[in-house]
Amino acid sequence: MSRKKKSPDLQPRRRRDAVRVDPIAMRRLSYMWLALGTLALIFVPALRGYDTWIGWLPFWLIAAPLINLLALHPHRLAALVPRFLVGLRQRRQAVSRRNQAKPLRRLRNTNPPQRSMHAALATMLSINVRH
């Protein structure tokens, strides 16, 4: 029984034979895609909708290149998270300091003072009544 040699197409690819993508070219392509997609959405209203073959067009014109850029630069996203949290904490502290610095205002009594029925009748009849 002789064994047939497998064709090269059926053999698994080795790591060194894998296709390599240039990250600089991919970054340039993503930025161009994002810029052209944004301009297309601004100037072509028909691209703001849904296509039955492609799907939601703003996703493919704006969100997909942004996701691609975040995948190419995960360290930038990781650096933004602490900066955002620190900024959020500083804004909350500033608001609490501002609220503590404000003196509490007393609410004015919006209800008129209660008068007796006798005084109300006297006012209506324009009679001067002394208490």
* pLDDT tens digits along 81-126: 777 777 777 777 777 777 776 665 655 555 555 666 667 767 767 6
- 8 token code pair: 């090269």
Residue with tokens 């804004």: 91
Q: Would you state the pLDDT for residue 48?
A: 86
- 3 token code pair: 């064994």
Residues comprising the chain, all counted: 131
Report the pLDDT averaged over residues 38-46. Answer: 91
Say if residue 37's pLDDT is above 90.
Answer: yes
Q: What are the tens digits of pLDDT across the range 59-88?
A: 999 999 999 988 888 887 777 777 777 777
Q: Would you state the pLDDT for residue 28?
A: 92
Contacting residues for 58 by C-beta, under 8 A, at least 6 apart? 41, 47, 48
Type of residue numbered 95: V
Report the pLDDT averaged over residues 9-20. Answer: 65
Q: Would you state the pLDDT for residue 31?
A: 92
What is the distance between the alpha carbons of residues 27 and 34, in angstroms, rounded to a whole number? 10
Report the pLDDT averaged over residues 50-65. Answer: 89
Q: Would you state the pLDDT for residue 98?
A: 72
